[in-house]
Copies of this chain bind each other. A is one copy, B any other.
């Protein structure tokens, strides 16, 4: 019997719960027992919803994350009417998504830990899309392409580093300060090298 009071029966509703387990324990640490405990489902139910097992659960989680970022972050950066608004929206959404530094980036975790190269392409495109979308917004707001590419790379890396340091020091404010600094730089220095 699972410890949760009720089980989640819809596959879509299950994804965020599975995501949290993968985020906190990594792929190898996310055992079926933990995944079952978190969802309140037995192994049979999990395999009914995800016939390919843990691999499929993880793929679904990564796809869900990618969907969210495409919709809420990358697309506004690329195609929004106001690039500066898109950038401000990115900072706001990212701060909310990572709970101001209390939540870690699953894609960042998978970037660091080799899981038999299974999710390497998902990890690659997540970060490639993010940097390209931010670069596009920066170009549209007046940066030279080379500057925009460099800045985009630096901001995306800084966010990941902020999450690492916030978690390491158990101080979520580290992440928030990182966001604030870069938001101010991108806003106040639209065309000079920072």
Mark A residues whose CB is within 8 Å of B: 24-29, 104-105, 107-109, 111-115, 120, 123-124, 126-128, 131, 150, 153-154, 156-165, 167-170, 174, 177-178, 181, 194
Could you list 30 A-B pairs, sorted by A, with CB under 8 Å? A24-B113, A25-B113, A26-B28, A26-B113, A29-B113, A29-B115, A107-B168, A108-B112, A108-B168, A109-B112, A111-B164, A111-B167, A111-B168, A112-B112, A112-B163, A123-B168, A126-B168, A127-B165, A127-B169, A131-B165, A153-B177, A154-B158, A154-B178, A157-B158, A157-B161, A157-B174, A157-B178, A158-B158, A160-B161, A164-B164
Give the shortest distance, in Å, between A58 (CB) and chain B (any CB).
Answer: 14
